[in-house]
Amino acid sequence: MQILAVAAEIYPLIKTGGLADVTGSLPKALKQFGVHTRTLVPGYPEVLAALEGSSVLRHYGNVFGVEGRLLGGRARGLDIIVFDAPELFVRSGGPYGPCGTLGYEDNWKRFAAFSWVASDIAERGLAGWYPSLVHAHDWHSALALAYLKYCGNGDIPRILTLHNLSFQGQFPARHFAELGLPDECYGADCLEYYGDISYLKAGLTSADTITVVSPTYAREIMSPTQGMGLEGVINARRDDVVGIVNGIDTDIWDPSCDPHIEHHYSARVPLRRLANRATLLKSLGLPQTRGLVFASVNRLTWQKGMDLLAGLVDEIADLGGKLIVHGQGDHAIEQLFLRAADRHPRHVAVVIGYDEALAHRIHAGADAMLVPSRFEPCGLTQLYALRYGCVPIVSRTGGLAETVIDANDAAVHARAATGIQFAPIDAGGLRHALHRAFKLHRRHRGWEKLCRQAMKADCSWARSASQYIEVYGNALSQGGLLRESA
């Protein structure tokens, strides 16, 4: 089986969040089952710089008015195809916009061109390589499935993975005419979305199968509260929706040999992580006291419930706990945490920014990881926390609800508990969870058991990769013949 994955980010080349972690690690997991993935990515400067031994595989004189070419090669262990179109992708800002949440004005064109190129590779193959199916991720590549359905010969299976419904690729309807899709696509059954056009909707209506990054989120988005206006479309496709929880790369996230941390440890000797705790507190200028050390490595946004956490910082400090926050996002939320750090210099450390190495050190040193998301399609932070014995405290939603087993009495006695879950998802719910954590932490043996049990949770790709293979297999058997690579 040959997969053409299409993604706007891929770890370790370019990452803004969990999407990159998934597109970077799933191919490796699939390979163990004999499935080969090549991932089409935009030619961002970081991607071009990482390419090794690349060759030019195709030239495009004019894609949406710009010149481009396809480069094939390897980069940091990944098999990638790069759509090198400097006018679209070589910019001084981030992959989607100049800064913060602001998008580039021509994003409609950048990702339409990217998606069109994906459909071209799927249709014509590339230098003798013919993918058996196309697997697009999120709105940035969703349009590829519409190009295949409406402009191609329609025989290649189309899979869409939905990572987060709050990013939909919505643009003014005037751009429709420039997309090169037949007129019938500008309708409620394809691209049209409340008078605009939505690339994600085009993907949802054109995919043969839609996978969602957890079964719970797959259910949640069928309701108006979580469907973000697309619940009707998703409900109409409900027979083709499959929830598959994300895995993590257990080689990159491995406390027994992680190059970012000083003291290595495993589930058999989790107490060794106390040395990392000491190093972490020292590096952040916090005193070495015994109180519970909470952390949050997260986008500082409403989705992640970080405003709820900001409102409870004083209480954490008053109860003798510490809080380490590392992230970036909404300016107002950043300011709330920075002001809290000023009020409580001995209890709170805030590092605004994005630092992969620091993220690893926090997982290895903090006692508990707070993930109070209002909604969370899957979430990877809690999976890394489990792996590192940093007890996850999560809201009961989406993938968080599925991957963390709450430390209620029954689960603790059955030695199954791996963290704390809370609901309702509001300040009261989070406060209650924090108090439960303080109580459990006071019983040292109990906390140690929880930490040990967390580390035993299987967060690897093994199970989920085989579910993707099943989805691929079904799509191929329904969609016709498997196209062999020449």
CA–CA separation, 318 and 312 (whole Å) = 10
Query: Which of 84, 4, 78 minimizes the C-alpha distance to 44?
Result: 84
Nearer Cβ to ligand GLC (18/270): 18
Among 318, 355, 458, 470, binds ligand ADP (CB under 6 A): 355
Per CB under 6 A, does 163 bind ligand GLC? yes
Which partner in ligand GLC, ligand ADP, none is near 356 (CB below 5 to 8 A by kind)? ligand ADP
Which partner in ligand ADP, ligand GLC, none is near 372 (CB below 5 to 8 A by kind)? none
Residue least distant from ligand ADP (Cβ)? 18
Whether the CB-CB separation of 472 and 3 falls below 8 Å is answered with yes
Per CB under 6 A, does 381 bind ligand ADP? yes
Among 216, 246, 395, 397, binds ligand GLC (CB under 6 A): 246
For residue 365, what are the CA distances in angstroms to 269, 292, 324, 373? Answer: 14, 11, 10, 22
Among 18, 247, 255, 392, binds ligand GLC (CB under 6 A): 18
Among 10, 30, 121, 359, binds ligand ADP (CB under 6 A): 359
Structure tokens at 397: 């939603």
Strands 66-75 and 52-63: antiparallel
Nearer Cβ to ligand ADP (208/334): 334
Can you tell me whether residue 115 is helix, strand or coil?
helix
CA–CA separation, 308 and 373 (whole Å) = 9
What are the φ/ψ torsions at residue 100 (nearest 5 degrees)? 50, -135
Q: How many CB atoms lie within 10 A of CB 207?
A: 27
Per CB under 6 A, does 94 bind ligand ADP? no
CA atoms within 13 A on the CB side of 451: 29
Among 379, 389, 392, 419, binds ligand GLC (CB under 6 A): 379
Q: Cβ of residue 399: shortest distance to ligand GLC, in angstroms? A: 6
Nearer Cβ to ligand ADP (70/393): 393
Which partner in ligand ADP, ligand GLC, none is near 213 (CB below 5 to 8 A by kind)? ligand GLC
Per CB under 6 A, does 298 bind ligand GLC? no
CA–CA separation, 374 and 312 (whole Å) = 16
Among 356, 415, 458, 470, binds ligand ADP (CB under 6 A): 356
Can you tell me whether residue 395 is helix, strand or coil?
strand
Structure tokens at 50: 């990482």
Per CB under 6 A, does 354 bind ligand ADP? yes
Which residues contribute to the site for ligand GLC (CB under 6 A)?
Answer: 17-19, 22, 163-164, 213, 246, 376-380, 399
